[in-house]
Structure 1
Amino acid sequence: MSDEEEGPIAVVAIDFGTTYSGYAFSLQNQFQKDPTQIFAYTNWIPSSGGLISPKTPTSLLLKPNKDFYKFGYEAEDTYAELALDGKHHEYYFFRRFKMLLHRNPNLSRDTKIADATGKELPAKVVFGHGITYLKHHAEDLIKQQGYELEDWDIRWVLTVPAIWTAPAKQFMREAAQKADITNDQLLIALEPEAASIFCRYIPDATGLEIFRSESKYMVIDLGGGTADITVHQVDNDGTLRELHRATGGAWGGTKVDAAYEQFFIDIVGEEVWMEFRATNGGDYFDIFREFELKKRTVKADMQPRIVVKVPMSLRNLYDSKNTETFNDAVKNHEMYYQRISTISDKLKIDSELVKGFFRDPLDKLIEHLQQVLMVPKVRGTKTFLLVGGFAESPIVQDTLRGKFPHIKLITPADAGLTVLKGAVIFGHKPFSIGSRISHLTFGIAISKPFIDGHHPSEKKLCTSSGIMCRDIFHKYIESDESVEHGCMQTVPLTMDKGSTISRVRVYSSSSKDPMFVTDEGCRQLGEMIINVGSIEDASNHVSVGLSFGKTELTLEAREKTSGQIFRARFDFLNN
């Protein structure tokens, strides 16, 4: 099911996040009446209670034989129970593993990921299990609501950060195949784009200048793992034009969690903390579930202290391994002297110290936003559209308002579901984004007649067509160039005389104008073998095109005489 065909009966979007995951869906007839009539499952509840979440943790538990067992809160709670009984060692528990795809420059099909106890499994297997669970959960819910749909009636949409590399996007597509989602059923949606699409429909954005023709605004998608920033302009036809390619970094909410965890390590020591985490998983998870709620109360003018629970298991473990008690360690701690104190089973933390947990990711975010705002095409941007789970923290909003007082800040209600719901709309309307900015230079390797004194001698190649210079980078699209949705750039392909088979090698480059595909910064993305068979004189009538402007890149070769078309996706994972 391609995005050019008639719309699907239903669209289901899966947001497989760093910290939390979820899904949402709508039917075509519902979408036609009201595009915002989207059902997002929001009833995820941990066994410890106290928290009803619109998403469930991205945590996976596999049985000792590597079969699926639990996902989300159920995975965390079950693993914690196993750990209490010392039975967890043979199980496989994975938590917050999505960032592997962002951090790994050598991502491949063979990439492995370690679980909580260091046991490794292929990363694609781990991601595949997670996507399969969410897919089945969505299918079951759709049936419960009375809809009988066949597999081919559903278009699936997976969200990914816009700053992700092509290999990471392909990895998610192949992981989805393990969930029996075929390529022609699947669309990849870029998270800030999905957020931008949804916000055009919400009541508190209707009529605002942000969505008037020719207006421009910055989308700041703050998730658990990454901050994803892009700039859009509204075209006359209502589609969105990307003015600045997606940028960002690992400045999401997990950085705050990491600072909070380091705070506890500073108090009890790494040895105690690691043993506590390994043997008291339930209490460990509860610490961060409570902190997830506390993060939503941290703001510039908050109370002087916040109060959090300290599990008795952590206190007792510390006391058993040290001559001083946990209370004494808090009272006398040099780094946090008079900034933390205990009362009963709770810990009181100075608000300035808590705000400090947010400082590193927010400082990096602000510095980056200031740089983007200086780009000529971006200057004059007067609106920030702030979305994502991390955007729900008041201190994030307060900090941005303080640093950019002349820019209007819009944060939709349920900012953490904005991307997910926008991805559903994108599934119904894939052409919502009219153009995108290319983040790299793309082209193919070709040969040209060799010119003495101009071409290096090591590139000389004798062929039936004459003496040629090989490995020349024929540029299709230059980095930072605006590309229309589905734009197809073609070039005639010169095949050896009488040849029926040709190999097309496609490359990217971080340089704007590379000369050869072997230059520094160039990388082969993939290749396609073109077999024109018995077509007479076909070697003079083949053109090769690259399709740009979508969320993924595709290759097409056309034999003009017969009209035969060869299509291929790139293999970014073949290292």
Structure 2
Amino acid sequence: MAGSALLVVAFDFGTTYSGYAFSFWDDPLKIQTNQKWIAGSDQLISWKTPTCVLLDRSGQFHSFGYEAENHFATLVEDKEHQEWRLFRRFKMILHNNKDLSRSTTVEDINGKSMPAMTIFTMSIKYLKQHFTEALNKQKTGIVDEDIQYVITVPAIWNDNAKQFMREAAENAGIDKARLKLSFEPEAASIWCQTISTDVKETWSKAGRQYMVIDLGGGTADISVHEKQIDDTLKELHKASGGPWGGTVVDNNYLEWLTKIFGNTTMERFKSEQMEDYFQMLREFEIKKRSINPESKGKFTFRLSASIKELYQESNSLHLEKRIANLGLSGMVTFSSDKLRVDVSVVKQWFETPINSVIEHVQHILAKQNMQTVETVLLVGGFGECKLVQDLIQRELKSKKIIIPEEAGLVVLKGAVRFGHFQDTVRSRVMTHTYGMAIFEDYDEQKHKNAEVDFIDGKKKACNVLKKIIQAGEEVTIGKCVSKGPYTPTDPDETTICVYCTEEMYPEYSTDVGCKHIGTLKVAHANGLSKDDNSLQASFIFGDTELLVKAVNIKTKEEFSTYMDCL
């Protein structure tokens, strides 16, 4: 048991949906989730709510989730939405964004920008407040200092994205000393150790190896683990994946509708009939999970009559004629508020993300050190889709595919358990090579391609990347790599620039693909010379974030900080 928290709460901040779950220290596996978010008048219920933020005319937070969508749709209906701002599905701004910074912006549904940090902070603050109110209804006397917070993040995120999420959480009022980030596929793996069904045999024996495929709204996140004799987990392959989540299917559906009705009609439908637009997306979210490989004939979607009316207002060509011109006669029909589409068309919307996932997974499993991986664990909201499950099972016939109940909640529950038992993961595989940019005495053979400078009269090679740890290398949690001593050139502080690259053998920090991920600044003890302020720098790898420590060699004063990657 890590720490002395009375309870652990985990926030799953997703691209499409968000939610939270928690449990108390005396019964950590009795995990409670919010009892159903209500979508609106149709009483659609969900264990999560849309990741959606509404700001009022003054730019202040108004609401989140279903409430935000519904309120904004009402404002649009009453033509009172001017200057209100709705932000949806903004999490993907963090995925593979090399230029991500504290000043990065996101756009609302009308294309107006706002600092992303502000929107993320508001979202987490809302989830924290919602959880606090729910907790106070069943327990009294628990203060914030009794709570361990966990936020789930994709394992494939870069260091800057993970730091961005951490800072947004801190800005939302979460104490950084009681905040942990949990990798999503790891959380799923951790939770499945608790499954008490026939599949428990898969996880119970030491040495068992399995792959975790976490299919969320925005990304596919893939890891490979091995169960250890002490019940901890060892990562066998570096986390990988891509932007192959369920929102790709949503976007394909919207693009297909645009092909049918035209861009003008779709834009008007979205802006003038927003309640119908949101209802259409919610209904599609439910429908797409029920599509299965045995489905034949036509699949029925509810589609508001208002979209056909808008089409007829601006198009002289009859809708049936347009469908015929697109070569879809007999494959697409309308009946009242129903859109009926041939299943062959619907399945095409899934092809791009699922084919990308399968191709990537097959590439990993074909590697020599992956031959003993027998089982694949499929989780995540998109992983609940029957068609997705079938396609993966067909292409991975030699593997045992396990899909746990409530696959969309597995990550969230696992993150809670991780908060209670933070040493469950023993080791990880580095996704990048890390190094520091330094000056080296110039060597004509070694530094042929280096930039050259003269320092204190000596010829130096510039921007030499002093490797700290290499991509593909296994590191135990908390592994410490020390470098130094470093004698400062500035009397007030030492600045160490850290870089990373996917290459295994980089030479210089200026190499293509090598990026600056952070700068460690350490203030010096007053009154000491530069030599007396020499530092030993230590890098602690293996956790969800890169921790850097620096020790003044003479005074033994210690500094500790997460890398500033923003």
Residue 380 (structure 1) shift = 2.5
Name the CA distance, whole Å, in 2 between partners of 1:340 and 1:502: 67
- For 1:166, give the aligned amino acid: D
Q: Which runs of 5+ in 2 are unaligned?
A: none
- The answer on 1:503 being equivalent to 2:500 is no
Matched letter for residue 94 of structure 2: L
Q: Which moved more, 1:255-264 or 1:382-391?
A: 255-264
- Alignment: residue pair count: 564
Equivalent residue number for residue 11 of structure 2: 14
1:393 matched to 2:385? The reply is: yes
Q: Give 2:306's aligned residue.
A: 313
Deviation at 1:541, TM superposition (A): 6.5
Secondary structure of 1:567's aligned partner:
strand
Tell me: CA distance 1:321–1:503, structure 2 relative to 1, closer, same or farther (3 Å): closer
The residue aligned with 1:29 is 26
Q: CA deviation at 1:88?
A: 1.4
CA distance in 2, matches of 1:527, 1:432: 30
CA contact (8 A) 1:498 1:539 kept: no
Unpaired segments ≥5 residues, structure 1: none
Give, as a single letter, the amino acid of the residue that structure 2 aligns with 1:139.
T
The equivalent of 1:485 in structure 2 is 477
Amino acid in structure 2 at the alignment position of 1:271: T
Q: Deviations over 1:138-179 (max 9, x none)?
A: 010000112332222111111111111111111111111221
Cα distance, 1:400 vs structure 2: 1.0
- Helix, strand or coil for the counterpart of 1:480? coil
Instruction: Measure, in 1, the Cα distance between the counterparts of 2:160 and 2:59.
Output: 25
Question: Secondary structure, in 3 states, of the residue corresponding to 2:510?
Answer: coil
**Residue 161, structure 1, aligned to residue 154, structure 2:** yes
Q: How does 1:514-529 map to 2 (within 5 A)?
A: 514-529=506-521
Change (3 A) 1:467 1:13: same
Paired position in structure 2 for 1:562: 555
Indicate if the aligned counterparts of 2:292 and 2:387 stay in contact, CA closer than 8 A. Answer: yes
1:381 is aligned to 373
Q: For 1:13 and 1:309, how far apart are their aligned partners in 2?
A: 35
Which letter maps to 1:421?
Answer: K
Aligned position for 2:65:
72
Residues 1:415 and 2:407 are matched in the alignment: yes
Letter in 2 for 1:481: E
Q: Distance in 1 between matches of 2:496 and 2:158?
A: 22
Query: For 1:346 and 1:333, how far apart are their aligned partners in 2?
Result: 21
Structure 1 residue 327, shift from structure 2 partner: 5.0
- Distance, in Å, in 2 between the alignment partners of 1:451 and 1:296 is 62
SS in 1 for 2:181: strand
Matched position secondary structure for 1:447:
strand
Q: Is residue 142 of structure 1 aligned with residue 135 of structure 2?
A: yes
Q: Deviations over 1:67-99 (max 9, x none)?
A: 111111111111111111222121010111111
What is residue 364 of structure 1 aligned with on the other side? 356
SS in 2 for 1:431: coil
The 1:298/1:141 distance shift into structure 2, 3 A limit, reads same
CA RMSD, Structure 1 to Structure 2 (Å): 2.2
Aligned positions of 1:2-151 closer than 5 A = 6-31=3-28, 36-102=29-95, 104-151=97-144
Q: Percent identity?
A: 38
Q: Label 1:472 to 1:52 Cα distance change in 2 as closer, same or farther (>3 A).
A: same
Q: 1:461 touches 1:470 (CA, 8 Å); kept in 2?
A: no
1:93 touches 1:115 (CA, 8 Å); kept in 2?
Answer: yes
Q: How far apart are the structure 2 equivalents of 1:94 and 1:73?
A: 12
* Helix, strand or coil at the partner of 1:209: helix
Residue aligning to 1:239:
232
The alpha-carbon distance between structure 1 residues 451 and 260, as it changes in their structure 2 partners (threshold 3 A), is closer
SS at match of 2:495: strand
Q: Structure 1 pair 492/105, CA: closer, same or farther in 2 (3 Å)?
A: closer
How far did residue 524 of structure 1 move?
A: 2.3
Q: CA deviation at 1:554?
A: 1.2
Which letter maps to 2:16? T
Query: TM-score, length-normalised on structure 1?
Result: 0.93
2:251 & 2:198 partners in 1: Cα distance?
A: 34
Query: Residue type of the partner of 1:6?
Result: G
Give the aligned residue type for 2:6: I
How much does 1:217 deviate? Answer: 0.4
Equivalent of residue 224 in structure 1, options 204, 209, 217: 217
Q: Tell me the secondary structure at the aligned position of residue 197 of structure 2.
A: helix
* Per-residue deviation, 1:460: 3.9
User: 1:210, 1:383 within 8 Å by CA — same for their partners in 2?
Assistant: no
Q: Which residue of 2 aligns with 1:304?
A: 297
CA distance in 2, matches of 1:353, 1:185: 49
Counterpart in 2 of 1:264?
257
Question: What is the CA distance between 1:534 and its match in structure 2?
Answer: 4.6
AA matched with 2:159 = A
